[in-house]
């Protein structure tokens, strides 16, 4: 029987992965801060080690470690305690992933299991204003995953990135709350935020069903020749901006700020 560890398993995307793999007969160890079968704080090594001991009571090998623990916040890069905000996102979104993969690697190695890391469309698309803290963390996840992928090629362990767009999870509420907080406290950006708000609302209104992520992760975990990365329902608008030369894009943002 195939076995997988999924972090962030109580969240919308992680939960969808749990359901998808369970449906095809996998044994899934669902881990999260709360609301999951196994309690795990990915920012705390002792918590990760304790979760590993719980899992080892059932199995000594894993066929997949699937990292979906993550947080989001909006913020200005020049206002508020931005350093603390970025440190928090890096602690969960990047370093939590690093700790989990390092801790459970010896359980993946015997069966040449797979590491599946949740990145984001924000990890490869052009960085946008006020989403800086999250984008920084996901760019880091991309670099980490690519480096790990090439490091493990000779060991036969595949490292796969999932790059979701907007999905209907609690993160949408977090994004809206972050926007409201930023708008209420900003000294420099009220006009820009007012102009950008309809665009943000439009993107969030087109959020997708998390079930799609579950299906993609299930495919990445089970197919013989998985891709290195899976882009799932990425924003058409943000993808279009990839083809806009930076001077033109900057001029458009500057015009919005006047």
- Please report the domains of the chain, with CATH numbers, ordered by start residue: 3-257 (3.40.50.720)
β partners of residue 161: 117, 229
pLDDT in tens, the chain (258 residues): 899 999 999 999 999 999 999 999 999 999 999 989 999 999 999 999 999 999 999 999 999 999 999 999 999 999 999 999 999 999 999 999 999 999 999 999 999 999 999 999 999 999 999 999 999 999 999 999 999 999 999 999 999 999 999 999 988 778 888 888 888 998 989 888 888 888 788 777 788 999 999 999 999 999 999 999 999 999 999 999 999 999 999 998 888 777
What pLDDT, on the 0 to 100 scale, is given for residue 130? Answer: 93
The residue annotated as part of the active site, out of 124, 134, 139, 253, is 134
Query: In degrees rounded to 5, what are phi and psi of residue 152?
Result: -95, 0
CB count, 10 Å around CB of 212?
17
Residue 179 falls in the annotated catalytic set: no
Query: In degrees rounded to 5, what are phi and psi of residue 58?
Result: -105, -40
d(CA 14, CA 210): 9
Residue 244 vs residues 20, 129, 131, 167, 254: alpha-carbon distances, Å? 37, 16, 19, 25, 15
CA-based torsion, 65, 67, 68, 69: positive or negative = positive
What pLDDT, on the 0 to 100 scale, is given for residue 197? Answer: 85
């Amino acid at each position: 029987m195939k076995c997988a560890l999924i972090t962030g398993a109580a969240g919308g995307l992680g939960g969808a992965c749990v359901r998808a793999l369970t449906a095809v007969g996998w044994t899934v160890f669902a881990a999260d801060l709360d609301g999951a079968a196994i309690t795990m704080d990915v920012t705390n090594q002792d918590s990760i080690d304790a979760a590993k001991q719980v899992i080892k009571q059932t199995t000594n090998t894993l066929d997949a470690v699937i990292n979906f623990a993550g947080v989001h916040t909006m913020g200005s890069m020049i206002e508020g305690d931005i350093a603390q905000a970025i440190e928090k996102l890096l602690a969960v979104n990047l370093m939590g992933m690093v700790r989990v993969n390092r801790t459970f690697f010896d359980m993946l190695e015997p069966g040449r299991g797979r590491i599946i890391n949740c990145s984001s469309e924000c990890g490869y698309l052009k960085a946008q204003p006020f989403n800086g803290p999250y984008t920084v963390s996901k760019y880091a996840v991309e670099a980490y995953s690519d480096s790990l992928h090439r490091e493990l090629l000779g060991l036969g362990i595949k490292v796969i990135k999932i790059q979701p767009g907007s999905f209907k999870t609690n993160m949408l509420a977090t994004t809206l709350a972050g926007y409201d907080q930023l708008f209420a406290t900003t000294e420099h950006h009220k006009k820009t935020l007012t102009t950008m708000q309809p665009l943000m609302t439009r993107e969030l209104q087109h959020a997708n069903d998390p079930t799609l992520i579950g299906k993609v992760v299930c495919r990445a975990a089970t197919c013989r020749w998985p891709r290195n990365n899976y882009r799932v329902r990425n924003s058409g608008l943000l993808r279009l901006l990839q083809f806009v030369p930076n001077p033109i894009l900057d001029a458009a943002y500057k015009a919005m700020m006047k």
